[in-house]
Structure formats: C-alpha cells, structure tokens
Amino acid sequence: MGDGKLLFPVEGTIKKKGEPEKNEKAVSLIIYTLSSGTTSWTLSKGMSDGGCGDPSVVEWKDKLMMMTACDDGRRRVYESGDKGESWTEALGTLSRVWINPTENEKSFRSGFTTGTFGEENVQKNVMLVTLPVYPKEKKENGKQEDRKGVLHLWLTDNTHIVDIGPVSGNDDAAASSLLYKSGEGNNEELIALYEKKKDGDEKPSPAMASVRLTAQLDEVKKVLKTWKEVDKRVSQLCLSESDEGASTGTPCSSTFNITDGLVGFLSGKFSETTWSDEYLGVNATVKVNDGEAKEKAEAVTVGSDKGVTFRGAWAEWPVGKQGENQLYHFANYNFTLVATVSIDGEPTQEGSISLMGVKMNGDGNEVLLGLSYNKKAKKWELLCNDGKANSQKLSTTKEPEKTHQLAIVLRNSTQGSAYVDGESVGEATCELKNKGPKGVSHFFIGEGGGSASDTGSGEDVSVTVRNVLLYNRPLNSGEITALNTKLSISKQKNLITETAGIRAPEVRASVMPEAVPESDHDGQHLTAKDSLKRGEDPSSVGEPKSAKNTLMTSSSRSQSAERLASGGSPDGTQTMDGASSPDVNPTVEAGRGAGGTVQDGTAVGPEVGVSSGENGEMAGRTGGREEK
C-alpha cells in the first residue's frame, strides 16, 4: 500500500450458527499489517457477500477495490475507504460487468493491478484486468463445443471500460495475475501470468504460462489518448462563441463538469449500421421494424457535427443485450441519457413518436422508461412500466424544426424522470416496477424504437439525433439545467438525404444459445485495436471518411452507393440503411442483493441511494463475521 503496509486478499467461509457445513459460503476479505515494518497482522471486519470468493485487491486513489467471483455467475467488485472495515458494492461502475462462468467448474481469480500513464504533468491512473472471454464455437457437426477461455486484457479508469484484446493465444486460460513495472521512456513492463488448463485427458495437471504484454501496453496508451481527445471535444460542447479560447476542461457551470461520470458518447462515428461509441466502449446498432415501413426505413449521417437522421429506424445501445460481459451494467441502477433531437415532417396517423428510452430483457422488451412526443397534441409524454405515466404540454405553438435537448434519468433502480430543454416532463417521477431478474436490455434512440403502438410513419417523420451522452449516475435537475443552458443547440436546416434508392434489408432474428455473445466483431463489442482502426487517428475521432459500400437488399441484390465525406462539406451526406445484424438473445444472471440480509444470513447495512435492482434489496456495506 502507499503507506508502506502490506495487504493480501483472503478467502474464508461463513454459515449461520447451527447449520450444517454444507451450507457454508465463501466470502472475501483482507489481511494487512498494522504498521510499516511490523509483523503484526489484522483481519478486516468487513467482507463480501456470501458466495463471493477468489478475491483480487488493488489500491485505487484513497480506496481499496476488491474483485470477487460469485456463485450467481457474475463478478462483483467492492470498494472500501476504511481498510476493509466495511465494503460497498461498486454497482455504478465495475461490479457485475464480467461473467463468472460456473458451468461444471470452480471459480477462479482475475488479474488485477493499477498503473499510471501519461506525459509530463498529465498523468492518468488506470486499472488493468485480465479475465477470459468465451467465444461461441461449433464443431463440424454443428454442435456447440466446450468453450475455451481466451484471456483478455481490460482497461478501466473506473468510468470507461475497454477490451484491449486477447493475450493467451490458443491456450484455454483460467486464473490469472498481472504485474506492472513502471519505468522511464519505454522501460515499463506488463506481464500476465495465467493458468493454462489441460486439454482432454492431458496429464499432468494444468500448467502456468507467462506473457509479456508490450504490444498491449501500446494499445492502452492509444486508448488513453483517445479518451483525452474525446473529453476535450465533449468539453467544447459547453463553450459559447465567446468562450472558445477558454480551457478545454471548462465545466458547464461552477458545480457541473460535463465529463464527470460520462461513460459513452455517440456523435459522428457512423458506418453502415453501426454508431460507434467515441470512448471505444459499446457501440449502438441501427434497427428497423418488420412490415411495409422497413422498405423505406433509413439512417443517414448529416455531418459529424449534426448527428444521424432516422426515418422508420432507430439505434439500440446494448446493456444486457451485449451478452455475457456487460460494460453498461450500471444502467440497471442509475443512469442519465441525454440527446439533442429534432423532429421533421408531419405524421399521417394519430399517436406518439418514441424518441428515446430503455427496454427490459424478456419477451416483448417492455419499456422501463422512455420519452415520446405527440406532435398533433403538442405533448411530451413520459413513459414508464410500458405505459404512459405523466405528460405535460410544454408548448402551444407548432415548431416542426425546433431542436430540443432530451434527458431521461434513472435513480436507485426505481425512480424515473424525463426532461425537455431542462424542464421536467410531468409533475412527479415514475415509480418503476422491480425489474427482478430481467434487467435492462438496451437503450433505444431515434424514431420507432419504443413500443408497438408508435405510429410515426417512416415516410412522413424523421428524427435527427446528435450528441448522445450516457452517464453512470443520475444528474440532478440543476446539472441538467446547466447542461441545457450551455450546450450549443442549433436548428437543423437544409438537411439533404441522398438515399440512392437503397432499401433496408430484411431483419431476421437468429436463434442463439442464451447468454452466449456474438464474436468480438458483432458491431457492439470490439476490442480496442479494432475500434481504433475504425476511428483512425484518435485526434480525428468522429470524422467520417469517404468510402464506397455495397449494400444487400432482402432479395440478395446488391446496390452500391457513394458515401460522400461530410466533414468539410455543408451538404455532404452519408446514406445508410436501417438494417441490423441478427439479435443476440442473452440473459442477465439473477443475483443476490448486497444489503439488508443476504441469502447466507449475513447482516449488512444498506448504502443509501444504490439498489441492486435484482431482488429489491439494497446494495450496501458488508461488515461483521459470523462464527462457524
């Protein structure tokens, strides 16, 4: 530790008094020296939830971070600011992001370390994690093969998470450890040590392997450079014309920094049917409805600074739908989604147009929280629990080309609210249903992504979306007002759509095993190297380049369209169809709450403002041990 004390993670067991030993559950805690240079050790009073073992611990700023493998199928991350006297599950950041595979095998520990990178006085602290990714593999006869764990290196600053890529070659990897040695210039080293599982009847027992991660360190630095560039660009959104010479870290107000808690940003990186996250995290994918409307559905970029225009189409930003490793798992508890939106055209039917929201896993993908607009009634409508909850007439005059800033907020898993141009929609927040084991599936952004009752015709109405910001925390009304006041909002004029006669291909649902993600190249989860290739130079993130694509229609006919560069031309557009890759059918593992009384009987105190959302219990501080 920074104060010279030694600390080690420890796994123990607990059970209720009088219960048989078979009811024992693993717990994670720490042991540390009382002072530097002494041989006296003390065991922490606090511990993880029951059923969470194989701990790895790092020191992060003024806290300890402990990653554990839990028997509910997820990896929980805890933080402590009092040397393990109490632990709080980090539901807003890293906890439950990664899978802990439990099928016919024992859990194992992850590699977990910290490092500091940067130039001169600009240094950034990050955490590095090694955990296996389990690709979908099939034998020649079409049956699913035993999944091999390919060890990946992950990078996080406790806000963003990026998959740097595989490090174990063809080995089937399990437990791992990371060692980082800092140094001047290029003398730093990162080494991964991992357990190489035996193949079939191979003897002797599993071996250990080590690999020097020099190339991966280079990728880490490229990602950090990209994050810095994107932070700079996002901060510029808060600058007015008179502020252009101000510091790039200028907040939207004295109490609100626009990048605080900002996890994802959708802007100008749009290619084919993928709207890429500028922070190299999770990408959004364009979708269309089945039926006649799909023939004229489209998504068109109108310039890197003007966003994407949807007609009969929308974008899905996956949470649980991402698969086994869910980088936006925090969205089950707290989030804020902000977007700048304009609606163009006149609907020919009565009804509302869904503009943005969040949907649940399960049959029907019901809307948990959303925002729609009834253009004929001139009403903004707040949707929750798959129905209208509150609505407010914000304007009595028709403004067909008015650009609005929209925001939806989830707080403590159960309270939903929405804002239009900084004003609250409705008089009260939505009291949301307990999500139980279902969990959040995805965010939707654009026209038609809400419920089946949406009547905005793809022929008559288009929705232009830009500057989509996703936060891992609920912004308060003051922050949303500050963001709306300073964010540069202008009307969308002279938007030219060159469709070149391209139709959206037919969308076909693919039958896939539950909880098995698509490959890393599914358009939603790319490694850092692949994402950086799409973005080219980090300093030019979000600037589309000229390209020529051949798009396939549902009848397998190919039609080509020239996509013009829009960065320097005011009328340049890129034409994209609203097709999607086959949907993944993942599941979200049901877990135990970390507060109240957990299933193993351990009494814990709730942490105010954070709920597990899976069984109604509060995620909180764990402390105190029961005697065997």
Question: Do the domain assignments include residue 107?
Answer: no
231 and 301 co-located in one domain: no
Region at 130 (left for phi over 0; alpha for psi -120 to 50; beta for the rest): beta
pLDDT value at residue 528 = 78
Strands (E), 278-433: 284-288, 298-301, 308-311, 313-318, 335-344, 353-360, 367-374, 379-384, 387-392, 403-411, 415-420, 423-424, 430-431
User: Rounded CA gap, 307 and 286, in Å?
Assistant: 14
Same domain, 216 and 356: no
Of 212, 216, 471, nearest to 338 (Cα)? 471
Q: What is the pTM (predicted TM-score) of this model?
A: 0.78
Residue 190 and residue 288 in one domain: no
Sheet holding 87-89, edge to edge: 52-60, 63-70, 75-80, 87-89, 618-622, 604-611
Return the closest-CA partner of residue 469 out of 249, 224, 260: 260
| Residues 6+ away with beta carbon under 8 Å from 296 | 311, 312, 458, 459, 503, 504
The mean per-residue pLDDT over the stretch 44-67 comes to 96
Q: For the CA atoms of 390, 610, 327, 234, what is the dihedral angle to 10 degrees?
A: 70
Would you state the pLDDT for residue 354?
87
CA–CA separation, 135 and 517 (whole Å): 7
Region 244-271 average pLDDT: 77
Q: What is the DSSP string of 79-117?
A: EESSTTSSEEE-TTTTTT-SB---TTS---PPEEEEEEE
Residue 133 is assigned to a structural domain of this protein: yes
Q: Which of 220, 246, 272 is the last residue of a domain?
A: 246
- Residue 45 — pLDDT band, cuts 50, 70, 90? very high
531 and 416 inside one domain: yes
277 lies in the same domain as 387: yes
Q: Is residue 75 part of a domain?
A: yes
Per-residue pLDDT, 575: 33
Distance CA 150, CA 610 (A): 33
Q: Is residue 140 part of a domain?
A: yes
83 and 123 assigned to the same domain = no
The number of distinct structural domains making up the chain is 3
* Residue 388: predicted pLDDT: 55
Determine the Cα–Cα distance for residues 174 and 150; give it in Å rounded to an integer. Answer: 8
| 583 lies in some domain | no
The arrangement of strands across the sheet holding 25-33 comes to 7-14, 25-33, 41-43
Residue ranges of alpha helices (H) inside 137-195 are: none
Residue of 541, 572, 581 lying closest to 267 (CA atoms): 541
pLDDT band for position 105 (50/70/90)? low
Q: Concatenated DSSP letters for 595-608?
A: SSB-TT--BEEEEE
pLDDT given at position 280: 97
Confidence band of 479 (pLDDT split at 50, 70, 90): very high
- Report whether pLDDT(550) > 50: no
Looking at residue 202, what DSSP letter applies?
-
Q: Name the domain boundary from 221, 246, 271.
A: 246
Strands 122-133 and 111-119: antiparallel
| 106 domain residue, yes or no | no
- Give the span between the Cα atoms of 495 and 259, in whole angstroms: 29
* Domain final position from 552, 577, 602: 577
Q: Which residues pair with 275 in a beta bridge?
A: 270, 284
C-alpha 529/C-alpha 520 separation (Å) is 11
- Phi, psi at residue 159, to the nearest 5°? -130, -60
- CA torsion 548-549-550-554 (nearest 10°) is -150
> Tokens 């929209």 map to which residue?
406
pLDDT per residue as tens digits for the range 137-184: 655 555 555 678 999 999 999 999 999 999 999 899 999 999 999 887
Q: Kindly report, residue by residue over 568-616, the tens digit of the pLDDT.
A: 333 333 333 333 333 333 333 333 333 333 333 333 333 333 333 333 3
d(CA 232, CA 620) in angstroms, rounded, equals 35
The DSSP code for 456 is: -
Do 274 and 395 lie in a common domain? yes
Per the CB < 8 A criterion, the answer to whether 450 and 321 are in contact is: no
Q: Are residues 370 and 418 in the same domain?
A: yes
205 and 297, same domain (yes or no): no
In a domain, 109, yes or no: no
3-state class percentages of the chain: helix first, strand second, coil last, to nearest 5: 10, 40, 50
One domain for residues 414 and 534: yes
CA angle centred on 25, ends 21 and 31, rounded to 5°: 115
User: 131 and 72: one domain?
Assistant: no
The C-alpha atoms of residue 596 and residue 514 are separated, in whole angstroms, by 31
Residue 281, number of CB atoms within 10 A of its CB: 24
Q: Are residues 447 and 480 in the same domain?
A: yes
In whole angstroms, what is the distance from residue 16 CA to residue 471 CA?
40
Flag whether 199 is in a domain. yes
CA distance 344 to 347: 9
Residue count of the chain: 628
Question: pLDDT per residue over 304-324, tens digit each?
Answer: 567 898 888 899 999 999 999
CA 480 to chain centre: 21
Please choose, from the candidates 219, 212, 214, the residue with its C-alpha nearest in 3D space to the C-alpha of residue 154.
219
Q: Residue 248 has what pLDDT?
A: 44
| 344 DSSP 8-state letter | E
- Parent domain of 141: 114-246
Question: 249 vs 528, which has greater pLDDT?
Answer: 528
User: pLDDT category, 241, cuts 50, 70, 90?
Assistant: very low
- Measured between alpha carbons, how far is 281 from 138 in angstroms, rounded to an integer? 27
Q: At what angle do helices 528-535 and 214-236 cross, to 10 degrees?
A: 50
